[in-house]
Amino acid sequence: DAKTTQPPSMDCAEGRAANLPCNHSTISGNEYVYWYRQIHSQGPQYIIHGLKNNETNEMASLIITEDRKSSTLILPHATLRDTAVYYCIVNSGNTPLVFGKGTRLSVIA
């Protein structure tokens, strides 16, 4: 079973920031938080990952709470092409990725 909990769906207006939450209250000390997204019928696309510090790359920002029990993926200026299912996964790098149902993000014009 997935070790994360995500809302099943979210809407976001185009051009606004999309904030996708994830709960991972049982995360262990050696596990990272990974985010992937899957646009319809394509392979999952890696977005970002982090251990305990906030991370930013050209696609998104990842904010991890100090107790590491939850995190938020931020897409700063959502576009229609960001419509996808977003998966939050905790993984140590030594085990297979366990995907939950993810959050279906709909970006609305």
Partner 1 sequence: KAGVTQTPRYLIKTRGQQVTLSCSPISGHRSVSWYQQTPGQGLQFLFEYFSETQRNKGNFPGRFSGRQFSNSRSEMNVSTLELGDSALYLCASSLQPGIRGETQYFGPGTRLLVL
Would strands 103-108 and 9-13 be described as parallel, antiparallel, or unpaired? parallel
How near is the Cβ of 73 to partner 1 at its closest, in Å? 15
Sign of the four-CA dihedral 98, 104, 105, 109: positive
Which residues between 50 and 69 bind partner 1 (CB under 8 A)? 51
- Does position 101 bind partner 1 by CB under 8 A? yes
How near is the Cβ of 77 to partner 1 at its closest, in Å? 24
How near is the Cβ of 60 to partner 1 at its closest, in Å? 14
Closest CA to 90 of 1, 16, 14: 1
**Contact footprint for partner 1 (CB under 8 A):** 30, 32, 34, 36, 41-46, 49, 51, 87, 92-101
